[in-house]
Amino acid sequence: QMIEAMTRKDTLEQTLETLLAETQHEHEHHHHEHDHEHEHEHDHDHEHDHEHDHEHDHDHEHEHHHDHGPDCTCGCHDHDHDHHDHHHHHADEVFTSWGVETAKQFTQAQITEALQALAQEDAYGIVLRAKGIVAGENGQWIHFDYVPGTPDVRTGSAETTGRICVIGSKLNEAAVAALFGAE
């Protein structure tokens, strides 16, 4: 496992882009279902069941904060504009991604508490997803995923450095960084 972790070439930016794409897909799918079921008066329903299991293993050697400003060329902004009579958000206009690499060690309890704190919108913004792998105690690695109200914290395979990614709207990046001790 250690050799596999050391030979990975993925970057934090790739991890953020993947997580952002997954979040965009979930957000757009949610709005598609919601808008069609509640705003149209004709008889058809749009229900789609999608299950996405993605594992991404990455190796990094630097700290990176990824903001999607108007001049960003990361590719996340490439999309077609469809105009409909229902409410539609373009994900790149709504979401911000924040990420950091860290050598800091955490306990599972610390990660669980931090993920539960992300529900405080007034402090951290509207957090839609968080994901990461960080060093734990006794050589273990802590893997975590978060969607609002559902932290999933577990041990998993080793990495060479810790990585934390958060996707949301109106993120208070300084507060998120402080929450994870990445100031």
The CATH number of residue 147's host domain is 3.30.1220.10
Question: What domain range includes position 166?
Answer: 1-37+92-183
What mean pLDDT comes out for the span 35-57? Answer: 44
Residues 164/178, Cβ–Cβ less than 8 Å: no
Structurally, the chain folds into a number of domains equal to 1
- pLDDT of amino acid 72: 46
- pLDDT of amino acid 129: 97
Q: Does 30 fall in a domain? A: yes
Q: Does 73 fall in a domain? A: no
Q: Does 162 fall in a domain? A: yes
Residue 86 has pLDDT above 50, yes or no: no
Q: Does 65 fall in a domain? A: no
Residues 166/156, Cβ–Cβ less than 8 Å: no
**Rounded CA gap, 11 and 175, in Å?**
24
Q: Is the dihedral of CA 71, 75, 76, 78 positive or negative?
A: positive
pTM of the model: 0.56
Residue 99 has pLDDT above 60, yes or no: yes
Q: Does 83 fall in a domain? A: no
Range with the lowest mean pLDDT among 11-25, 29-43, 124-138? 29-43
**Rounded CA gap, 178 and 168, in Å?**
16
How many of the other CB atoms lie within 10 Å of CB of 153? 21
Q: Does 3 fall in a domain? A: yes
Mean pLDDT of the chain: 71
